[in-house]
Structure 1
Amino acid sequence: MLRTLLFLIAFAFNLNDSSSFARKETGVNKLKLGIVAVGTAGFGALTYDYFNRVWWKPTKVKKFIWRDDWNDLIRADKAGHFYFSYVLSDAYKSIFKWVGFNGKTSSFFGAGISVIYEVGVVELTDGFTTRWGFSPSDAISDILGAFFPVAQEFFPSLNSVAFKWSYTPSGYTWLDYLKIGSLKDALYKKQFHTDYEGMTFWMSLDFQKFLPEKIEKFIPDFLNLAIGYSVKDINYAGRGYSEIYLALDYDLLKVNTKSDILNRIIHTLNYIHFPAPTLRIKPNVKFYYLYF
């Protein structure tokens, strides 16, 4: 739930971002920096207090516990750690650009905040609980996700890659969203933050950059290809199986509405993989007209 909340907050923060669109750097705005500092500290303190009471405190111990869970969920949770750390880092990168810092400085600040929260707060606190314990592989996934936006600043070719996420409560289909009460009933029965069987993590590729110009011109600019990863029949002890998908994806950043507010909302929505024609290639081949 904590990472889900961070994800939603990152969405909200990103509404202040116009970094995806051409603009000139105007220098650091101290008022904006102060707002970000106070907001971040306040939000961090409130969320820590809340989750300490409902999550950590019931199983808290004084001894630090190491527990690596690399195999528990067939690495789906590692994808989750990477993704949510990436979103938090990328959102703060955008925030610091809004404040007035340059791209590279903003990316390091964003990665730092993501690592401090995800590893320095969440993972270390997990280490003092009998329920969770400190997982080195979780921490590594957090760090890799946090520093991917940094790598994009130094290696521009990585900007052809974006990470996305989609979710439908396991046991339901995206069509259930259209049925009155179905989605509400599904979300009530499922624990959203641990329902990994309902989650799919995507790596979206701007493949058109690698095509000959004669071919590229016939493909809409906003179409990408995405590779998806999901798991099914897991038992939190390493059993189950993984699924791999190949799907069309939409690069919403290619859509410029000429409205600053709408463009910022579009930037935020681009963290989501929306329903698209999809081919499952593992464990067996199956085609979906629309998969979410």
Structure 2
Amino acid sequence: MQKKLLLLTLVLLLCYRSNAQKPGPFFSIPDTTSPRNIWILSGTALALYGSSLAALNSAWYKGYPHEKFHFFNDMEEWLQMDKAGHVFSAYMIGKYSRELWRWSGLPRKKQVWIGGLSGFAYQSVIEVLDGYSSKWGFSWGDMGANALGSSLLISQELLWNEQRIQLKFSAYPRTYSDPVLREKATELFGNTFMERVLKDYNSQTYWVSVNIHSFARNSKWPAWLNVAVGYGAKGMFGGRDNYWTDTHGIERDFSNIRRTRQFYLSPDLDFTRIKTHKKGVKVLFQVLNMIKVPAPALEINGAGEVKVHALMF
């Protein structure tokens, strides 16, 4: 499901880029509320969300039988990496939706609430669809993660009028040498590069990137230099364990592979703090700011190991 949410985030980014780069008063941010712009934004948002949800309902759930609405507790799955994905997706969708709503001319607080809640609202509908699928179910854990992502965005906008603490994403697709694990990884995570980036939880890291300068404006700390704390995991070939029956009916037991949490500390860049007068560059920096830049990192993991990575991505 996370793949679809990240794709919607990219669509919102493209919409933001399109509106931000076109000159002229029609695309300028108005000083007062513009009913015309509100109607355009509302219609665009409804069309975007509605069409993507309709496509999701017909494509993502195709092949899985429907049943009565039911709940599913998945809090113990994937070492909570999927929950980190929900937090990130709600945050990013809300962030760029909020940027689009600047164009409405509405009072700032209304822009923040409307844009910021977009990610939560969109993912809530997806959770309802999950509730009718035999493959999944309505997850209160996912809903909590969605709310956390939206809350992080909204609270900072209302408190500081900026995002001092940002969520970021990075991934380095893993290869699996064992033929059995390679087959399982293809079944779970897909076979293409982008599928592995978006679906393989063993390859992903989610980051909380803090802008130190925004908390200490009188210091000499560079405004563009952040400190990021990351969370990842490895050794997962199933939601709860590494035991399964393959397509040939053979039982596979890889319980010897430890499912390990990983925590990182690394420097990061806040591209939006780099000064430029070019609108195109500003939009590019907004896009780049959702990705954690490769940098040295200190790792402490659940196996009790401490590692230093010359370059972590």
Per the normalisation by structure 1, the TM-score is 0.84
Separation in structure 2 between the aligned mates of residue 189 and residue 37 of structure 1, nearest angstrom: 31
1:90: which partner in 2?
Answer: 95
Spell out, residue by residue over 1:148-171, the C-alpha distance to the aligned partner (whole angstroms, 9 max, x if none): 221113322983211111122123
The separation in 1 between residues aligned to 2:48 and 2:208, in whole angstroms, is: 29
Q: Measure, in 1, the Cα distance between the counterparts of 2:60 and 2:307.
A: 39
Which residue of 2 is the match for residue 141 of structure 1? Answer: 145
| Structure 2 portions without partners, runs of 5+ | 22-27, 177-189, 242-258
Q: Distance in 1 between matches of 2:194 and 2:98?
A: 36
Q: Deviations over 1:260-286 (max 9, x none)?
A: 221122122111111112111224222
Q: Which residue of 2 aligns with 1:196?
A: 201
Determine whether 1:27 maps to 2:28.
no
Matches within 5 A, 1:86-235: 86-119=91-124, 121-156=125-160, 159-171=163-175, 187-188=192-193, 190-210=195-215, 213=218, 216-217=219-220, 219-235=221-237
1:37 matched residue in structure 2 = 42
Amino acid at match of 1:150: I
Which stretch of structure 1 is more off in the superposition, 231-240 or 219-228?
A: 231-240
Paired amino acid for 2:167: F
Shift of 1:190: 4.6
Greater Rg, structure 1 or structure 2? Answer: 2
Residue 9 in 1 paired to residue 11 in 2?
yes
Structure-2 separation of matches of 1:153 and 1:13: 21
**Structure 2: distance between partners of 1:104 and 1:249:** 29
- Residue 248 of structure 1 aligns to a residue whose secondary structure is strand
> SS in structure 2 opposite 1:231?
strand
CA distance in 1, matches of 2:161, 2:32: 27
CA contact (8 A) 1:13 1:91 kept: no
Question: 2:285 is matched by which residue type in structure 1?
Answer: I
Residues 32 and 158 (structure 1 numbering): CA distance in 2 closer, same or farther, change over 3 Å?
closer
| Counterpart secondary structure, 1:224 | strand
Which amino acid in structure 1 is aligned with residue 173 of structure 2?
P
Q: SS of the residue aligned with 1:287?
A: strand
Counterpart in the other structure of 1:177: none
Say if 2:98 and 2:115, in contact at 8 Å, map to a contact too.
yes
**Greater Cα shift, 280-289 or 86-95:** 280-289
Counterpart of 1:274?
293
Query: Which piece of structure 1 moves more, 269-278 or 80-89?
Result: 269-278
Aligned equivalents of 1:70, 1:48: Cα separation in 2 = 24
Q: Which 10-residue stretch deviates more, 104-113 or 194-203?
A: 104-113
Letter in structure 2 aligned against 1:245: Y
Partners of 1:84 and 1:209 lie apart in 2 by: 24
Moved more, 270-279 or 57-66: 57-66
Report the equivalent of 2:267.
Answer: 248
The equivalent residue for 1:72 is 77
Quote the Cα distance in structure 2 between the aligned partners of 1:211 and 1:89. 27
- The Cα shift of 1:90 comes to 1.1
TM-score, normalising length: structure 2: 0.79
